Amino acid sequence: MDPITAFVAVLTVFVIAMFLGFEVITKVPPVLHTPLMSGSNAVSGITVVGALLVTGHPTAWYVTALGVIAIVFAMINVAGGFAVTQRMLQMFKRKG
């Protein structure tokens, strides 16, 4: 596939996902806006996927080093984000 066609394909996914995001997230009530932010922190930790591939493949040592730091950063987001969101949502679940 030529580069321009490939780019437009990813761009299409980006634009549609932005619209989908606006539709879905507008329905989140203000009561849950803090868990929304911490939950989205966890989801943005998805960059860990790129970090894993960079670190695991044989390459120069400094590239591997950048990859390991990226894994640590992204995993702080993934684990910290999901765990703290769970902690908050449990509090909302208790009553009401």
Per CB under 8 A, contacts with another protein among 29-88 are 29-60, 62-64, 66-88
Q: How many residues sit close enough to another protein to count as binding (CB under 8 A)? A: 85
Minimum CB separation of residue 90 from another protein in Å reads 7
Minimum CB separation of residue 42 from another protein in Å reads 6
Place of tokens 């679940």: 93
Query: Are the C-beta atoms of residues 68 and 55 closer than 8 Å to each other?
Result: yes
